[in-house]
Structure 1
Amino acid sequence: MILSIVPRPSPPPRSEEELMARANALAGRTLGEVAQEYSLIPLGGWRHNKGWIGMLIEHVLGASAASRPEPDFPLLSVELKTIPVGRTGRPLESTFVCAVPLAGDIAADWRQSNIFRKLARVLWMPFESERTIPFEARRIGSPLLWSPSPPEEALLERDWGMLMDRVICGQVEEISASEGEYLQIRPKATKATARRSVIGIDGEREMLLPRGFYLRPSFTAAILARYYS
């Protein structure tokens, strides 16, 4: 566990308006202030921990999907994405979306895929992540409730189709993080114990590390720039 105590989370919001009211109430506040209010202090004191930040904001906003393959707010079909930004408001890293299906139920159509469900409606919660700012003093930014425009969706679908063609053909190990203009595939874990059995390019079973879909910073930077400008 990365939290010293785990109090009862907020109840799930019943509407987008209620969700945005909670999110707007966090804007401008520091991670330390919110953590103190909700009694969610990291074990071992303050330190950079992206997983803890996501857990804190999920707890406060009432996200209830946990690790299930559905949006974080199932009743609203809204996904929550915390995004670390620099002083200029630009994202500092790529954004994990969801796991890449390496076996079993692989959607043949973009609109039937889990990644489409995750990105159809997203609540972006930016937060300061400059290393020069003390962890507990980093502020949460203004929230943005976003759905991809037709051009944005077309770009994502194009990258998804290209990458999933490689997956279906058993070329998972050959996929480079440089592939995809706005959407990329990268390993999601490094431990050998996390490997999963999948069918490789030669039709034989292989043990591979799980992969994840990530949005490149150039894509999320364009979203935030339009909103904050």
Structure 2
Amino acid sequence: MAAELHIPVPPDLKRDKGWVGQLIETALGAKAGSKPEQDFANLGIELKTIPINSAGFPLETTFVSLAPLIQTAGVNWHNSHLRYKLSKVLWIPIQGERQIPLAERRIGSPILWQPDPQQEARLQQDWEELMDYIVLGKVHEITAKIGEVLQLRPKGANSRAKTKGIGQNGEIIETLPLGFYLRKEFTAQILQNFLRNK
């Protein structure tokens, strides 16, 4: 695919973490890039590449969106950016095992997915719990262990990247940007459900 698009293939993904996703976006004509909208906004679809091992299990968590750390008044699950991003997702599995040279990795069958009521309920429960920490000024108490299907983790170029958040007394503080990630067990269930129903 990279050869067809005349895009050079990096030797590995150490310095080019998002390269595979960008390649697929380019091939499919996705326009959003890092803008806060779905990759195919006209179709209401978000594109997510997912590296998998030979057993079809995801190799890493999946970043979905940044968490709102200030201006959270009026934000609820139903109007949240996370729900918007996950309302319809085109998952594209990619061979992700490091021993396979990047240029030789295969692209799997795409999966068009929408959360079923049970999946949405689990996502909502985690989102609400994690947002409570943010709104109550407990951002420093958030760990990757909180949440059953979702987790909040620092999302910045490095530990020096800072953004504004809410402190324990309601004051504005400097803190690390946080991103919502889907846990591997949750995305594994999406892939397995697809294979079961094929």
Greater Cα shift, 60-69 or 122-131: 60-69
| Equivalent of residue 173 in structure 2, options 200, 203, 206 | 206
- Aligned pair 1:47/2:47, yes or no? no
State which drifts further: 154-163 or 193-202: 193-202
Does 1:69 find its partner at 2:36? yes
* Among candidates 185, 194, 203, match of residue 152 of structure 2: 185
Quick check: 1:117 aligned with 2:84?
yes
The CA deviation string for residues 109-152 of structure 1, in whole angstroms up to 9 with x for no partner, is 21100000000000001100111111111101000000000011
User: Does residue 94 of structure 2 align to residue 133 of structure 1?
Assistant: no
Match of 1:169 in 2: 136
Shift of 1:192: 4.8
For 2:100 and 2:73, the matched residues in 1 are separated by 42
Q: Tell me the equivalent position of 2:67.
A: 100
Q: Which amino acid aligns with 1:101?
A: P
The equivalent of 1:152 in structure 2 is 119
**Secondary structure of residue in 2 paired with 1:50:** coil
CA shift at 1:190, angstroms?
Answer: 5.3
Query: How far 1:106 moved relative to its partner?
Result: 5.2
Query: Post-superposition shift, 1:78?
Result: 0.4
Whether the aligned pair in 1 keeps the contact of 2:38 and 2:44 (CA below 8 Å) is yes
Task: Tell me, yes or no, if structure 1 residue 80 matches structure 2 residue 47.
Answer: yes
Comparing 116-125 with 47-56, greater Cα deviation is found at 47-56
For residues 166 and 185 of structure 1, what CA distance do their matches in structure 2 show? 11
**TM-score, with normalisation over the residues of structure 1?**
0.81
In the TM superposition, what is the alpha-carbon distance from 1:204 to its structure 2 partner? 2.5
- Provide the C-alpha distance between the structure 2 equivalents of 1:192 and 1:207, rounded to a whole number of angstroms: 12
Question: Quick one: distance in 2 between partners of 1:126 and 1:106?
Answer: 37
* Stretches of structure 1 lacking an aligned partner (at least 5 in a row): 1-33
- Tell me the residue number matched to 1:10: none
8 A Cα contact 1:160 1:183, kept in partner: yes
Given that residues 95 and 216 in structure 1 are in contact (C-alpha distance below 8 angstroms), is that contact kept between their aligned partners in structure 2? Answer: yes
Show CA shifts across 1:177-213 (max 9, x none): 0000000100002535420122211223211110000
2: distance between equivalents of 1:83 and 1:212? Answer: 17
Q: Which runs of 5+ in 2 are unaligned?
A: none
Give the length in aligned residue pairs. Answer: 194
